[in-house]
């Protein structure tokens, strides 16, 4: 499944580069932007430039994916344990994830607890067979065993669905578009507004930076829309593993905690794979659907 996703990612990006190369050629023919070679004083937007944008766009996402477990452990202070731990609660968590992973047909994830009074959890990792599932100490203190079991199942479902890879692929495609379009905007501003005809002027850098910020903000709702879709699927996966009533009960508990402002936001790197989102100033920028919508979707299963 991992290699199919990567192959799909590569095919999509080749298609993106092909289409953008045609668009840029049309813009050059119409005289809107200058696509002459760097040797002649212009900014090179030919195929090499497109490929470099794809490398930067895709490369950043894949590097973040590859180091995601390492980063999560250090950023969140995750204490990883195994079945031999002396802590009975941690041992129960490990055995629960082990059974769920077997049912979901994935390799056993690393399992850990991170210090936080807020009830939350997350999954991360570079693939279905190299993952980490972690829960907060606050979640263990505020939820029953059945509710914790459902939260663990939700995170295992994220891993089984390959959501970390999927979101990295989507982010990589978005980043590629942002880089290329920001370069186009920078060149347009440099040539048309600043009237620079030699090399790359200050207008390019100003235009590139401003366009990158604006385009990133505009593209974020697309990524978040995919993230919300993955949440519904992870909830359904948890319902399959432990029963929908347990998952509904866990979400009801999180709903209460959220209403009391007891839930803290996870870092951006893990937010999309947590059990609940917080502090999104708009529904369009939220990585999770409203808890009420998730409960309603579960009841309809």
DSSP designation for 129: T
Q: Which helix (H) or strand (E) holds 108?
A: none
CA distances from 128 to 110, 132, 172, 261 (A): 11, 10, 19, 33
- Band (pLDDT 50/70/90 cuts) for residue 56 is confident
| Tokens 């289409």, residue located | 19
Mean pLDDT over the full length of the chain: 81
Provide the token pair at 221.
């709702």
Out of 155, 197, 231, 292, pick the active-site residue. 155
Q: Name the domain count of the chain.
A: 1
pLDDT higher than 70, residue 5: no
Domain that holds residue 82: 1-301
Confidence of residue 67 (pLDDT cuts 50, 70, 90): confident
**Residue 126 phi, psi dihedral angles, 5° rounding:** -85, -15
Answer whether residue 41 shows pLDDT above 50. no
For 107-119, the pLDDT digits (tens) are 999 999 999 888 9
Q: What's the pLDDT score for residue 132?
A: 95
Q: Which residues of 196-209 are buried (b: 16+ CB within 10 A; e: fewer)?
A: beeebbebbeebbe
Q: What is the pLDDT of residues 205-250, one digit of tens each?
A: 899 889 989 998 898 888 889 999 999 999 999 999 999 999 999 9
Question: What is residue 268's predicted lDDT score, i.e. its pLDDT?
Answer: 60
For 131-190, how does the pLDDT look when each residue is reduced to its tens digit (9 = 90+)? 999 999 999 999 999 999 999 999 999 999 999 888 888 888 888 888 888 888 888 888
> pLDDT at position 103, please?
96
Q: pLDDT band for 42, please (50, 70, 90 cuts).
A: very low
Residue 200: pLDDT band by 50, 70, 90 thresholds?
confident
**More confident site: 273 or 7:** 273
Q: Which of 5-14, 34-43, 48-57, 290-299 has the lowest mean pLDDT?
A: 34-43
> What's the pLDDT score for residue 205?
87
Residue 109's pLDDT is what? Answer: 96
Contact assessment for residue 113 and residue 140, using Cβ atoms and an 8 Å cutoff: yes
Distances in Å between the Cα of 148 and the Cα atoms of 70, 92, 109, 111, 164 are 24, 11, 17, 13, 22
pLDDT at 66: 86
Q: Give the model's pLDDT for residue 243.
A: 95
d(CA 123, CA 222): 21
Q: Please say if 103 is a catalytic residue.
A: no
Q: Is the pTM of this model over 0.75?
A: yes
């Amino acid at each position: 499944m991992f290699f199919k996703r990567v192959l799909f990612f590569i095919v999509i990006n080749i298609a993106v580069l092909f289409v953008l190369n045609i668009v840029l050629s049309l813009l050059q023919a119409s005289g809107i932007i200058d696509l002459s070679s760097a040797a002649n004083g212009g900014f090179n937007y030919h195929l090499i430039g497109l490929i470099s944008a794809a490398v930067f766009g895709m490369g950043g996402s894949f590097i973040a994916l590859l180091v995601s477990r390492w980063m999560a452990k250090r950023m969140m202070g995750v204490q990883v344990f195994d079945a031999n731990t002396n802590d009975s609660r941690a041992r129960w968590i490990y055995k629960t994830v082990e059974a769920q992973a077997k049912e979901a047909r994935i390799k056993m994830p690393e399992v850990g607890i991170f210090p936080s009074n807020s009830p939350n959890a997350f999954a991360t990792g570079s693939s279905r067979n190299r993952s980490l599932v972690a829960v907060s100490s606050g979640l263990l203190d505020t939820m029953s065993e059945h509710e914790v079991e459902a939260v663990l199942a939700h995170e295992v479902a994220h891993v089984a669905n390959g959501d970390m890879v999927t979101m990295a692929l989507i982010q990589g495609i978005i980043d590629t578009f942002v880089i290329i379009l920001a370069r186009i905007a920078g060149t347009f501003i440099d040539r048309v507004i600043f009237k620079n005809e030699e090399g790359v002027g200050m207008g390019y850098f100003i235009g590139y930076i401003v366009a990158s910020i604006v385009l990133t903000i505009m593209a974020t709702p697309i990524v978040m829309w995919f993230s919300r879709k993955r949440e519904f699927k992870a909830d359904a996966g948890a319902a399959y593993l432990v029963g929908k009533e347990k998952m509904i009960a866990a979400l009801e508990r999180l709903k209460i905690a959220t209403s009391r402002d007891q839930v803290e936001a996870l870092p951006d790197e893990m937010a999309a794979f947590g059990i609940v989102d917080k502090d999104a100033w708009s529904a369009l920028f939220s990585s999770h659907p409203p808890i009420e919508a998730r409960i309603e979707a579960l009841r309809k299963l």
